[in-house]
Amino acid sequence: MSDRILVLYGSYRSDRAGIRLANYIVHGLRARGAEAELIDAMQIDLPMLDRMYKEHAEGEAPEAMNALAKKIRAADGFVFVTGEYNWGMQPGLKNLTDHFLEEWFWRPAGIVSYSAGRLGGARANLLWHGTLSEMGMVVISSTVLVGSVGQTLDTEGRPQGEAGAFLEQSFARFADDLAWWTEAARLQRQRRKPPY
Protein backbone atom coordinates (compact mmCIF):
# COMPACT_ATOMS: atom_id res chain seq x y z
CA MET A 1 0.00 0.00 0.00
CA SER A 2 1.43 3.38 -1.02
CA ASP A 3 1.45 6.24 1.46
CA ARG A 4 -1.03 8.96 0.48
CA ILE A 5 0.74 12.24 1.22
CA LEU A 6 -0.67 15.72 0.72
CA VAL A 7 1.96 18.40 0.11
CA LEU A 8 0.43 21.74 1.10
CA TYR A 9 1.81 25.01 -0.24
CA GLY A 10 0.49 28.48 0.53
CA SER A 11 2.11 31.36 -1.33
CA TYR A 12 -0.17 33.74 -3.23
CA ARG A 13 2.67 35.90 -4.57
CA SER A 14 3.00 36.49 -8.30
CA ASP A 15 6.65 35.33 -8.37
CA ARG A 16 6.47 32.11 -6.38
CA ALA A 17 9.95 30.61 -6.01
CA GLY A 18 8.62 28.25 -3.32
CA ILE A 19 6.46 26.38 -5.83
CA ARG A 20 9.73 24.90 -7.14
CA LEU A 21 10.35 23.41 -3.72
CA ALA A 22 6.77 22.14 -3.36
CA ASN A 23 7.06 20.40 -6.75
CA TYR A 24 10.46 18.99 -5.80
CA ILE A 25 8.93 17.47 -2.65
CA VAL A 26 6.01 15.96 -4.61
CA HIS A 27 8.35 14.43 -7.22
CA GLY A 28 10.74 13.19 -4.54
CA LEU A 29 7.97 11.45 -2.60
CA ARG A 30 6.56 9.90 -5.78
CA ALA A 31 10.02 8.59 -6.70
CA ARG A 32 10.03 6.82 -3.34
CA GLY A 33 6.66 5.15 -4.06
CA ALA A 34 4.26 7.50 -2.28
CA GLU A 35 1.04 8.83 -3.78
CA ALA A 36 1.90 12.50 -3.33
CA GLU A 37 -0.43 15.31 -4.34
CA LEU A 38 0.21 19.04 -4.31
CA ILE A 39 -2.46 21.13 -2.58
CA ASP A 40 -1.86 24.72 -3.68
CA ALA A 41 -3.76 27.19 -1.51
CA MET A 42 -3.81 29.77 -4.30
CA GLN A 43 -5.46 27.29 -6.69
CA ILE A 44 -8.06 26.19 -4.14
CA ASP A 45 -8.62 29.82 -3.11
CA LEU A 46 -10.68 29.39 0.04
CA PRO A 47 -12.01 32.67 1.45
CA MET A 48 -10.51 34.22 4.56
CA LEU A 49 -11.69 32.04 7.40
CA ASP A 50 -15.25 32.82 8.39
CA ARG A 51 -16.57 29.32 9.07
CA MET A 52 -14.59 26.16 9.52
CA TYR A 53 -15.64 23.15 7.46
CA LYS A 54 -17.34 21.58 10.49
CA GLU A 55 -19.38 24.75 11.09
CA HIS A 56 -21.25 24.39 7.79
CA ALA A 57 -24.47 22.40 7.74
CA GLU A 58 -24.03 19.08 5.95
CA GLY A 59 -23.93 19.61 2.20
CA GLU A 60 -23.65 23.40 2.48
CA ALA A 61 -19.87 23.90 2.58
CA PRO A 62 -18.34 25.29 -0.62
CA GLU A 63 -17.41 22.52 -3.06
CA ALA A 64 -13.68 23.31 -2.88
CA MET A 65 -13.84 22.88 0.91
CA ASN A 66 -15.78 19.60 0.61
CA ALA A 67 -13.31 18.19 -1.88
CA LEU A 68 -10.30 19.18 0.22
CA ALA A 69 -11.85 17.76 3.42
CA LYS A 70 -12.19 14.37 1.69
CA LYS A 71 -8.56 14.47 0.55
CA ILE A 72 -7.33 15.39 4.02
CA ARG A 73 -9.34 12.58 5.65
CA ALA A 74 -8.00 10.05 3.11
CA ALA A 75 -4.35 11.08 3.51
CA ASP A 76 -1.82 9.09 5.52
CA GLY A 77 0.40 12.11 6.16
CA PHE A 78 1.14 15.71 5.27
CA VAL A 79 4.02 17.92 4.25
CA PHE A 80 3.67 21.67 4.79
CA VAL A 81 5.90 23.72 2.48
CA THR A 82 6.12 27.21 3.90
CA GLY A 83 7.91 30.43 3.26
CA GLU A 84 8.67 32.95 5.96
CA TYR A 85 7.04 36.36 5.92
CA ASN A 86 8.41 38.90 8.41
CA TRP A 87 9.53 36.15 10.82
CA GLY A 88 6.11 34.52 10.54
CA MET A 89 3.90 32.09 8.65
CA GLN A 90 2.55 32.48 5.15
CA PRO A 91 -1.02 33.70 5.61
CA GLY A 92 -2.34 31.72 2.63
CA LEU A 93 -1.18 28.39 4.03
CA LYS A 94 -2.36 29.22 7.54
CA ASN A 95 -5.78 30.26 6.23
CA LEU A 96 -6.17 27.03 4.25
CA THR A 97 -5.09 24.92 7.23
CA ASP A 98 -7.43 26.66 9.70
CA HIS A 99 -10.55 25.76 7.71
CA PHE A 100 -10.23 22.20 9.05
CA LEU A 101 -9.52 20.57 12.40
CA GLU A 102 -10.66 16.99 13.06
CA GLU A 103 -9.79 16.12 9.47
CA TRP A 104 -6.07 16.44 10.36
CA PHE A 105 -6.09 14.26 13.48
CA TRP A 106 -3.88 11.21 14.09
CA ARG A 107 -1.52 11.57 11.14
CA PRO A 108 2.10 12.75 10.87
CA ALA A 109 3.15 16.05 9.39
CA GLY A 110 6.52 17.21 8.14
CA ILE A 111 7.63 20.80 7.64
CA VAL A 112 9.71 22.08 4.74
CA SER A 113 10.55 25.77 4.87
CA TYR A 114 12.33 28.19 2.60
CA SER A 115 13.35 31.79 2.21
CA ALA A 116 15.25 34.02 -0.16
CA GLY A 117 17.82 34.53 2.60
CA ARG A 118 20.20 32.13 4.25
CA LEU A 119 18.04 31.05 7.23
CA GLY A 120 15.71 28.93 5.12
CA GLY A 121 12.48 30.00 6.80
CA ALA A 122 13.62 28.65 10.18
CA ARG A 123 11.34 30.94 12.18
CA ALA A 124 8.22 29.99 10.21
CA ASN A 125 9.30 26.35 10.46
CA LEU A 126 9.40 26.65 14.25
CA LEU A 127 5.99 28.34 14.41
CA TRP A 128 4.38 25.56 12.38
CA HIS A 129 5.52 22.90 14.87
CA GLY A 130 3.24 24.18 17.63
CA THR A 131 0.36 24.93 15.28
CA LEU A 132 0.31 21.49 13.66
CA SER A 133 0.63 19.75 17.02
CA GLU A 134 -2.32 21.74 18.34
CA MET A 135 -4.28 20.67 15.26
CA GLY A 136 -3.87 16.98 16.13
CA MET A 137 -0.88 16.01 13.99
CA VAL A 138 2.36 14.38 15.09
CA VAL A 139 5.15 16.60 13.75
CA ILE A 140 8.17 14.56 12.72
CA SER A 141 11.56 15.63 14.05
CA SER A 142 13.27 15.78 10.66
CA THR A 143 12.82 19.01 8.78
CA VAL A 144 14.07 20.62 5.58
CA LEU A 145 15.20 24.25 5.48
CA VAL A 146 16.10 25.78 2.13
CA GLY A 147 17.85 29.12 2.11
CA SER A 148 18.35 31.06 -1.11
CA VAL A 149 15.60 28.98 -2.68
CA GLY A 150 16.06 30.70 -6.06
CA GLN A 151 19.64 29.44 -6.27
CA THR A 152 19.00 26.01 -4.70
CA LEU A 153 16.45 24.93 -7.32
CA ASP A 154 16.33 25.91 -10.96
CA THR A 155 13.08 27.07 -12.59
CA GLU A 156 12.13 23.41 -13.24
CA GLY A 157 12.60 22.51 -9.57
CA ARG A 158 15.86 20.63 -10.06
CA PRO A 159 18.50 20.94 -7.32
CA GLN A 160 21.62 22.79 -8.38
CA GLY A 161 25.03 23.44 -6.90
CA GLU A 162 26.18 22.78 -3.35
CA ALA A 163 22.90 23.97 -1.84
CA GLY A 164 20.96 21.61 -4.12
CA ALA A 165 23.15 18.69 -3.05
CA PHE A 166 22.48 19.55 0.60
CA LEU A 167 18.73 19.66 -0.13
CA GLU A 168 18.82 16.18 -1.63
CA GLN A 169 20.66 14.87 1.41
CA SER A 170 18.30 16.44 3.93
CA PHE A 171 15.23 15.41 1.90
CA ALA A 172 16.29 11.74 1.98
CA ARG A 173 16.37 11.70 5.78
CA PHE A 174 13.15 13.71 5.97
CA ALA A 175 11.33 11.31 3.62
CA ASP A 176 12.57 8.26 5.57
CA ASP A 177 11.31 9.81 8.82
CA LEU A 178 7.94 10.72 7.30
CA ALA A 179 7.50 7.22 5.82
CA TRP A 180 8.26 5.60 9.20
CA TRP A 181 5.73 7.74 11.05
CA THR A 182 3.14 7.38 8.30
CA GLU A 183 3.33 3.60 8.49
CA ALA A 184 3.30 3.64 12.30
CA ALA A 185 0.23 5.87 12.45
CA ARG A 186 -1.64 3.86 9.82
CA LEU A 187 -0.95 0.57 11.63
CA GLN A 188 -1.95 2.05 14.98
CA ARG A 189 -5.24 3.39 13.57
CA GLN A 190 -5.97 -0.11 12.21
CA ARG A 191 -5.06 -1.73 15.53
CA ARG A 192 -6.88 0.68 17.81
CA LYS A 193 -9.51 3.33 17.20
CA PRO A 194 -8.30 6.84 18.13
CA PRO A 195 -9.67 7.93 21.53
CA TYR A 196 -11.58 10.89 20.04
The reported pLDDT for the residue numbered 196 is 85
State the SS3 of the chain. CCCEEEEEECCCCCCCCHHHHHHHHHHHHHHCCCEEEEEEHHHHCCCCCCCCHHHCCCCCCCHHHHHHHHHHHHCCEEEEEEECECCECCHHHHHHHHCCCHHHCCCEEEEEEECCCCCCCHHHHHHHHHHHHHCCCEEEEEEEEECCHHHHECCCCCECHHHHHHHHHHHHHHHHHHHHHHHHHHHHHHHCCCCC
Look at residue 110 in the predicted model and tell me its pLDDT. Answer: 98
Give the pLDDT of residue 125.
96
The CATH number given to whatever domain includes residue 19 is: 3.40.50.360
- The answer to whether residue 182 sits within a structural domain is yes
On average, the pLDDT of the chain sits at: 96
pLDDT value, residue 55 = 97
Q: Does 40 fall in a domain?
A: yes
Count structural domains, the chain: 1
Q: What is the pLDDT at residue 112?
A: 98
pLDDT over 90 at 1, yes or no:
no
Q: Is the pLDDT of residue 118 over 90?
A: no
Q: Residue 142 is part of which domain span?
A: 4-191
pLDDT confidence tier of residue 36, bands split at 50, 70 and 90: very high
